[in-house]
Amino acid sequence: KVSDLSFRQNLIGFTDSTLLSPSISDQLLFVEHTGQLVGYTFDGGIKSCFGTTVVTTGIWHSAVITFKDNDKMIVYLDGAWEAEVAIGTRWAGGDRHLMGRITDDITLDEVVFYDRALTPEDVLQYHQAQFGV
């Protein structure tokens, strides 16, 4: 649940504990100050995809990002496809996940990791099960 859109709100990311700056990370999912859900990765170059639906503040949402190396990164909001971008092989140097930042105004519930890229059907079924729709 995002409470404030006056600045970017990080939902989840991946970083390396040996890096001097915690701002250096990869495989991010965040809500931009415009309200767009954004997926970001680095595969030798910066790749981003921007959703079109504005995230409503103060209510729960289902936000999903999937990656498949040498294929694509896709972001979903509330069970629906939002955006995708072709990617190569992602950076694999990280050793920890980040949930939000100390300055973010978000609440996270049920962060789930899978060892595969979910299909659009998987994402919709998960959303329907969580929200009873």
Domain presence at residue 119:
yes
Percent of the chain scored above 70 by pLDDT? 87
Neighbours of 118 (CB within 10 A): 18
How far apart (Å, rounded) are the C-alpha atoms in residues 84 and 58? 26
Residue 46: strand pairing partners:
42
Domain of 109: which CATH number? Answer: 2.60.120.200
- pLDDT single digits (tens) 74-83: 999 999 999 9
CA dihedral sign of residues 89, 91, 95, 96: negative
How far apart (Å, rounded) are the C-alpha atoms in residues 107 and 122? 23
What does residue 105 show for φ and ψ, rounded to 5 degrees? -115, 70
How far apart (Å, rounded) are the C-alpha atoms in residues 76 and 99? 18
Domain presence at residue 1:
no
Total-model pTM = 0.84
Domain presence at residue 19:
yes
What does residue 40 show for φ and ψ, rounded to 5 degrees? -140, 140
Which of 5-19, 39-53, 54-68, 92-106 bottoms out in mean pLDDT, i.e. has the lowest? 92-106
State the residue range of the domain holding 45.
Answer: 9-131
User: What's the total number of domains in the chain?
Assistant: 1
Identify the CA nearest to 12 among candidates 33, 43, 40, 36. Answer: 40
